[in-house]
Amino acid sequence: MQKIVLFLSIYTMLGTTLLAQIQTGENVAIANTESGKVRGYIQRGIFTYKGIPYAEAKRFEMPQKPKPWTNIRSSMTYGPVAPLMDPTYVTGDESEFIFHHDWGFTGEDCLRINIWSPGISDGKKRPVMFWIHGGGFWAGSSQELPSYDGENLARKGDVVVVSINHRLNVLGYLDLSAYGEKYKHSANLSIIDMRAALEWVKANIANFGGDPGNVTIFGQSGGGAKVNTLMAMPSAKGLFHKAINQSGSFRTAMLEKTETQAITAELLKILNIPASKVDSLQKIPFVVLSEASKKALKAVENNMKAAGKPLVGGSLGWGPSRDGEDLPYQLFSSEAMNLSKDIPLMLGTVKNEFAPFMAAMRGKMSAEQEMETAKKQYGEKGDAYLAAVKKAYPNDKRPGDMLDIDLMFRPGCVLQANLKSAIPGGAAVYTYLFSWHSTVMDGKWKSFHCLELPFVFNNVARCPEMTGATKEAEALGARMSQAWINFARSGNPNHPGLPLWEKYSAAKGSTMFFDNTCQIRNNHDADLMSLTGN
């Protein structure tokens, strides 16, 4: 018996060692694309490809199919990330430890795709999970956070995970449509890049073991907002079949052409470029363009405020706009909602979102200070506010817990869920709230923006600075990643590890709480939403 146990132990050790090896070489992980063959590598059984061009584009012009290549293209490392308006990040030591960013290297030739697949020549048609990174519409990349790595999710779910880089900020959203046909689509090139990547997936993903007829787009924060934008894009219809929006319903409206063209006119004025010389924008250094664009945004923002026009988030920034062609409808309009009527949607937020980033919210606070602060913020409704928060989150006991509940992302999530679930004959909607508190740094960061990402990607152990990599966190990651996998496979996130997750309706408001103990709660924060005007 002891010999058998010893043999099994040795076999397991050898198997684990072999599985952990990275397989590389001239004839390893070769796959076909429309543009030519690519070579990746195999890590722990997952075929991995990085930095494959899915398109190419001149500055401010439409993406085109990449030029074909004849040799096998080595595709083993991430490609360039989109140039950022503020490339030098000012970050706190503590927060940088938690997020563990990988900023990558920038370049305007950034239209690249990454793929993780359990197999490429086995005849399988696996669900495709198409990840869109966060960072608003002006920052971020497909490699920015360690949680974005798709290896573990691909292995666990037998799915193909895809992520992309695309144009951002002024390069992705400057509206030059008034200055010539080649700039006709410039106001929304960033979103058009995503459409081009989805078209690439449709044409090529079968060569990587994926099913082009079962594609789920999912994204977080700005990536979630991009998911919403693609759902409102007529020309993207049919390129994806399910959608997941994580903390991305904060933007319910887009700028109109009046504003976007005003920004461009101001930019040309700042750079002293006449309309007849607008093509010179394609050649000036990005840093010059970026600095001028900041000034242009601020000038138009001031004009809009003076005219009493509303601003998303109180300030003007880059993002998609209703251009009348690529994006003809406002995001939450009936036309946009009906366009995505048949797309099952899962959406949610995390309990504290950005509040823990505010130093005052992380400090020690007495019950008296909590009450005083609530009354300063909500006046005569202070007592009612605290009562509503306690009803919504009865397990929050520490002084200060009542003040850092997210009210930035959650209202838009509820609004979107209410609108989509009310469409007659529409696809299912499922909502969640991630309420698990991180144990790192004595737990003071609570349930913060981006915290759900390692759980979704089954990367809890890969991100110990964020998750603590505890047994409880690992168990929650297993339950959450399975829900995302099941939704991508069938449009239904239910599995035996969770309580029954009902479809959402405004009347019942069924919401899955992801925590050490997962549970369904119905309209848990209805009083809080009503009291705060949401």
CA distances from 509 to 185, 368, 388, 529 (A): 39, 33, 16, 12
Phi, psi of 138 (to 5 degrees): -130, -10
Q: Which helix (H) or strand (E) holds 36?
A: strand 36-39
Helical H segments across 463-525, by residue range: 464-467, 471-490
Catalytic residue chosen out of the listed positions 117, 221, 247, 340: 221
Nearest to 132 by CA among 225, 208, 209, 239: 225
Among left, alpha and beta (phi > 0; psi -120 to 50; other), residue 209 is left
317 residue type, one letter? G
Catalytic residue chosen out of the listed positions 133, 437, 449, 524: 449
Structural tokens at position 524: 């848990």
20 residue type, one letter? A
Residue 449 appears among annotated catalytic residues: yes
Q: Which helix (H) or strand (E) holds 417?
A: helix 410-421
Q: How far apart are CA 42 and CA 24, in angstroms?
A: 7
Tell me which residue has tokens 């040309």: 268
Structural tokens at position 353: 């979102």
Phi, psi of 219 (to 5 degrees): -160, 165
Nearest to 482 by CA among 508, 512, 505: 512
C-alpha torsion sign, points 52, 57, 60, 62: negative
Q: Give the 3-state secondary structure of 78-119.
A: CCCECCCCCCCCCCCHHHHHHHCCCCCCECCCCCEEEEEECC
Catalytic residue chosen out of the listed positions 144, 353, 435, 524: 353
Find out whether 103 and 89 touch, Cβ atoms under 8 Å: yes
Which residue numbers are catalytic?
221, 353, 449
